[in-house]
Structure 1
Amino acid sequence: MQDNKIVLAIVSLFIPPLAVFLKEGKITNNFWINLVLTFLLFGVGGIIHALYIIFK
């Protein structure tokens, strides 16, 4: 399970919403929040949010 988190963390550096989608397994509110943060904050907000979702 830890290997999965490492792969998701790497994915979150390039495509944060995809990492959240893969972690959650479906499109949830966290996915939409991450998508908005990614576009509004030029990726940095999305990366931080994705890492939070992955490692919580």
Structure 2
Amino acid sequence: MKTVRYLLGILFPPAGVFLTYGISSTLIINILLTVLGYIPGIIHAVWAISKSYEKAGQSV
């Protein structure tokens, strides 16, 4: 499942963030960053997904 989240985070950043956080402020921020620029949206998505796994104590 982790691979799917990262893949979606790269192809369509809000989808990866949604699968990780659901409807939250992180998703709203990612949508705004993706609208402003695709690359910032990807960076934020990968960072947010990684942070989620780090918080859960799982290795990335």
Q: Which ranges in structure 1 are unaligned for 5 or more consecutive residues?
A: none
Q: What is the TM-score normalised by the length of structure 1?
A: 0.83
Aligned residue number for residue 19 of structure 1: 16
Deviation, structure 1 residue 19 = 0.5
Q: What CA RMSD, in Å, does the superposition of the two structures yield over aligned residues?
A: 0.8
Q: Which ranges in structure 2 are unaligned for 5 or more consecutive residues?
A: 52-60
Q: Which has the higher contact order (CA 8 A, sep 6+)?
A: 1
Equivalent residue pairs, number:
51
Runs of 4+ in 1 over 6 A off after TM superposition: none
Write out aligned runs for 1:7-46 (5 A).
7-24=4-21, 26-41=22-37, 43-46=38-41
Name the % identity.
39
Bigger Cα Rg: 2
- Kept in 2, the 8 Å contact 1:17–1:34? The answer is yes
Deviation, structure 1 residue 36 = 0.4
Q: What is the TM-score normalised by the length of structure 2?
A: 0.78
Superposed CA deviations along residues 1-56 of structure 1, whole A, max 9, x for unmatched, are xxx222111111111001100001x2100000000000101x10110000011111
User: For the residues of structure 2 that align with 1:13 and 1:28, how far apart are their CA atoms?
Assistant: 19
